[in-house]
Amino acid sequence: MTRNSIVFDNVSYNFGKKEIFKNLSFEVPAGQTVGIMGPSGTGKTTLLRLMGGQIQPDNGTILVEGKDINKIKRAELFELRKCLGMLFQSGALFSDLTVFENVAFPLKEHTRLNGEMIRYLVLIKLNSVGLRGAAHLFPRELSGGMQRRVALARAMALDPKLIMYDEPFTGLDPIALGVISNLIKDVGSVYECTNVIVSHDIEETARISNLLYVLSEGEIIGQGSPQDLKKDDSPRLKQFLNGLPDGPVPFHYPAPEYLDSLIGVKNTKRTIIKRDD
Amino acid sequence: MLIHALRRIGRFGFEMLSSMGRALRLLSSALIRRPDHRNIPLIIGQIYQLGVLSILIIVCSGFAIGAVLALQGYTQLVRVGSESALGLGVALVLVMEIGPVVSALLFAGRAGSAVTAEIGLMKATEQLASMEMIGVDPISRIIAPRFWGGFIVLPLLALMFSVVGIWAGSLVAVDWLGVYSGSFWSVMEQGVDFFDHVMKGIIKSIVFGFVVIWISLYQGYDSLPTSEGLSKATTNTVVFSSVWILVLDFFLTLMMFEL
């Protein structure tokens, strides 16, 4: 029987009055690389934050490595997070620490390794993302793409069981893109680590994922292997995968009629542009 | 119109209560936790950041205020021939009132606003969130050391302020205006009691330290992760801290004089 790293069971989540997810259910099998794709604003980052226990759902259960992440105590949650890694969209490196210190941070906090051993491990991780030579630099001295590579090295520092990646391919040049996507794939296969990748990059995500979920308007509109999804005839899925502007998946954020906004129809709460008369 | 106004008042009251609840929760999570020896270097680091780096502004201000007090006091006391009591007057005003209050106001402006901006920026750039995901509690690692650092240094800064102020007062009174040195110091020595006067000033600065660092930490931790949110949070730290210092000073003085 397949063990699941993550289980979402009828999870609903609202941000203010906006419904982000309604009765969302899916599983992430252990040791697999799972891609979660979907249009902007569909709640992919929110999904990762729910998985990490940073926010709580309004309803439903989220199991991470067999534990209900919203019912365990705060101390247990922090204990569980020691075997999770997360790459933030912004990198979220500690700005007062050097690249070396950033990658060494989880090792110093959670292991009893001596300084020399930590140095070896940090240099190995930095070498894998091509930034061993930048160990002495501060995050402010790196480009956005380089910061994300350092953040990736930090997320992998403790060789976690589960790594969540928020847009790992954004801002990378083609060479770095190839290296990083192969690195994510290798980490999954060599260390039997579960990878959850949230990305817009259909081609790259499909290339390294065993299983894909496509989200739109708070629900899963397609799931399966990359080959299965290509064969799927669902109009919403086809529109997203082929990048078509017109179709059942809305490109526009909910708004009143375009013409109404332009001419300034009165008594419309959502009127954005009012006429000057 | 009336309903609209009532609704706004109600919403304001609710937001204020909710904000106080969040502030209390932050404080209790920072204070109620198992002592961790790894926090000691962090607290020492914060004592340096919040205390040692504030010494210059405290010394300069203490010197200026002590000198002004001596000048002002002399012009009044010399009329009734009581300039020998100048040392006592300067010392009592500094130790019991001006020292704790002004050093707390300066601390809020220099160190408090810096703490708020630092934590607010860490929140806006997801550094606190990434620390949580690494399995390190930011309350323990970031909030608690800053709390203890701020709480420890303010009474010391207030004492330093008073000492420098008294020294400046002696320079003005004795070395410049010609007040007899023996009477300046001996009247001060006879009139100033450690428990009756100095201790009251220390208690005040302990309370101010607690309140100022709590406000600073909460404003940073609860700030909106935007440039406007950060700007509002740092302003709130200085404004709220200053108002609370002055209000608490009144009540503490009232309690200490047992009126």
Tens digit of each residue's pLDDT (9 = 90 or more) over A17-62: 888 888 889 899 988 899 998 877 788 888 999 998 989 999 999 9
Average pLDDT, chain A: 84
Predicted pLDDT of residue B30: 86
- Does B74 map to a domain? yes
Of A54, A81, A95, the CB nearest to B135: A81
Q: What are the sequence ranges of the domains in chain A? A: 4-251, 252-277
Query: What single-letter DSSP state applies at residue A170?
Result: T
Chain A partners of B127 at a C-beta cutoff of 8 Å?
A: 92-95
Residues 6+ apart with CB under 8 A from A62: A6, A7, A8, A9, A11, A50, A51, A53, A68, A69, A70
Residue A231: both structure tokens together: 């064969």
ipTM of this predicted structure: 0.81
CA distance B244 to A113: 47
- Does B234 map to a domain? yes
Query: Are A88 and B137 within 8 A, CB to CB?
Result: no
* First and final C-alpha spacing in chain A: 69
Q: With 80 as the cut, is the pLDDT of residue A252 above it?
A: no
- CA distances to B7, B14, B15, B126 from B2, in Å: 8, 18, 20, 42
Q: How confident is the model over B183-217, as pLDDT tens digits? A: 889 988 888 888 888 999 999 999 999 999 999 99
Q: Could you tell me which CATH number the domain at A4-251 has?
A: 3.40.50.300
Chain B partners of A84 at a C-beta cutoff of 8 Å?
A: 133, 135
Query: What total number of domains does chain B contain?
Result: 1
Query: Are A74 and B137 within 8 A, CB to CB?
Result: yes
Phi, then psi, of A61 in degrees rounded to 5: -125, 140
- Does B133 map to a domain? yes
Residues facing residue A213 across a β-bridge = A36, A223
Predicted pLDDT of residue A277: 41
* First and final C-alpha spacing in chain B: 45
- Does B72 map to a domain? yes
Of A74, A92, A106, the CB nearest to B129: A92
Residue A160: both structure tokens together: 């976690």
- Does B11 map to a domain? no
Chain A partners of B225 at a C-beta cutoff of 8 Å?
A: none
Instruction: Measure in Å the smallest separation between the Cα of B101 and chain A Cα atoms.
Output: 32
- Residue A55 backbone class (left: φ over 0; alpha: ψ -120 to 50; beta: rest): beta
Most A CBs within 10 Å: which of B33, B39, B133, as the mutation test of the A interface? Answer: B133
- Does B15 map to a domain? no
- B32 contact A CB<8A: no
pLDDT range class, residue A268, cuts 50, 70, 90: low
By the 8 A CB rule, do B142 and B129 touch?
no
Range of the domain at B83: 46-256
Give the angle subtended at the CA of B185 by the CAs of B181 and B186, to the nearest 5°: 110
Residues of A with CB under 8 A from a CB of B: 52, 54, 74, 78-82, 84-86, 88, 90, 92-95, 105-106, 109-110, 151, 154
- Does B7 map to a domain? no
Instruction: Measure in Å the smallest separation between the Cα of B166 and chain A Cα atoms.
Output: 39
